[in-house]
């Protein structure tokens, strides 16, 4: 019987255990959206995870939405990320880079001068965004022209090649949370009349072509993707997520990808896990408020190949060790989730046993 702590494979990525660190925005990048020495230590501390999935990282300047998020489109960013991957690999860990283009979920105040906010359609999302000048409404995006789409897909492919150059074991395409891929997928944000809009077969096309480009760039077995069907976050809506995501999964399943990362968010519109089980044939990482006991059951019952944990990893850099030994989990400080500096980022201590640090 497979255990949560047994090694496994996600595509071409060999993992030491089935506990995955989920991607989490932490807003600590330096000037030029470059990772810093804080990133090196943050990810190094958590290298006990079977796989680390980084915070969402811009594949291009236009992909940036939030302040202090890192990129993977400049030589300085690549060089800085290499320090992170070297540190994780030195601890025996594996790490993939999540590629996150936010599309319309952006403020120009957080972007470099002259960089536009773009989306499938010129529809402003409801909501506000933090900037160094305070909270502001989200930008009204410019609709992407049809002849621009291949260059945006190539930006993703170039980012994947940069990630491999930076030492990452693979990449994950962020297809949820209302960002650019989800904007193409969803009928509420995609009002296009070309071959990328209208019926579900057209709306999934951007994601499919992007994943195909990533696969050509670095190999399909090093490419994963993350979805949360029906998730309304960032003002996203799809009239029929069962149709949209079922077709997406059936189309992507034969490509030999590293994994599907499914956020199994409870939603009256859709039962995500049964849909994935019927439409997806590859490795599966499950996420969404999963307890340790449920994680063990999911793995032993072969429902999932791995389970990802987000916020427990913030205050518990040695989360896998605590799980193994049945140690209590520390609570994170919500006030330091996105604040700059080391506090609440690299300052959470490892567990102690009998007055000493657990080994």
- By annotation, the residues acting in catalysis are 179
Q: Where are the beta strands (DSSP E) in 69-193?
A: 95-99, 118-119, 128-131, 134-137, 142-143, 170-174
Strand-strand pairing, 134-137 and 128-131:
antiparallel
* CB contact set of 313 (below 8 Å; sequence gap of 6+): 21, 22, 24, 46, 49, 319
Provide φ and ψ at 282, rounded to 5°: -95, -175
Question: Which of left, alpha, beta for 33 (phi over 0: left; psi -120 to 50: alpha)?
Answer: left
Angle formed at CA 30 by CA 24 and CA 33, multiple of 5 degrees: 70
Helix 205-218 to helix 149-165 angle (10° resolution) is 30
Q: CA nearest 7: which of 93, 69, 81?
A: 93
3-class SS at 142?
A: strand
């Amino acid at each position: 019987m497979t255990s949560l702590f047994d090694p496994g494979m996600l595509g071409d990525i060999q993992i030491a255990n089935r506990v995955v660190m989920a991607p989490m925005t932490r807003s600590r990048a330096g000037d030029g959206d470059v990772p810093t020495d804080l990133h090196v230590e943050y990810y190094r501390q958590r290298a006990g995870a079977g796989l680390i999935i980084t915070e969402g990282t811009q594949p291009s300047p236009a992909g940036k939405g939030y302040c202090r998020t890192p990129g993977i489109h400049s030589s300085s960013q690549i060089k800085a990320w290499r320090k992170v991957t070297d540190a994780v690999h030195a601890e025996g860990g594996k790490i993939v880079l999540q590629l996150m283009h936010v599309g319309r979920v952006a403020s120009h105040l957080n972007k470099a001068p002259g960089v536009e906010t773009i989306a499938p359609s010129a529809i402003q999302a409801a909501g506000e965004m933090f900037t160094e000048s305070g909270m502001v409404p989200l930008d009204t995006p410019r609709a992407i022209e049809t002849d621009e789409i291949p260059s945006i897909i190539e930006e993703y492919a170039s980012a994947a090649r940069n990630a491999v150059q930076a030492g990452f074991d693979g990449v994950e395409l962020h297809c949820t949370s209302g960002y650019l891929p989800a904007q193409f997928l969803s009928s509420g944000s995609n009002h296009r009349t070309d071959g990328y809009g209208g019926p579900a077969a057209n709306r999934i096309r951007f994601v499919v072509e992007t994943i195909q480009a990533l696969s050509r760039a670095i190999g399909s077995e090093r490419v994963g993707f993350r979805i949360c069907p029906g998730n309304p976050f960032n003002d996203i809506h799809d009239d029929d997520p069962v149709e949209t995501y079922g077709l997406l999964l059936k189309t992507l399943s034969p490509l030999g990808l590293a994994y599907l990362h499914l956020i199994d968010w409870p939603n009256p519109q859709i039962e995500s896990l049964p849909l994935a089980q019927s439409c997806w044939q590859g490795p599966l990482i499950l996420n969404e408020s999963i307890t340790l006991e449920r994680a063990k059951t999911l793995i032993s019952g072969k429902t999932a190949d791995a389970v990802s944990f987000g916020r427990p990893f913030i205050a518990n850099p040695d989360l896998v060790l605590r799980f193994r030994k049945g140690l209590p989990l520390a609570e994170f400080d919500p006030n330091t989730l996105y604040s700059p500096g080391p506090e609440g980022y690299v300052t959470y201590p490892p567990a102690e046993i009998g007055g000493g640090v657990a080994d």
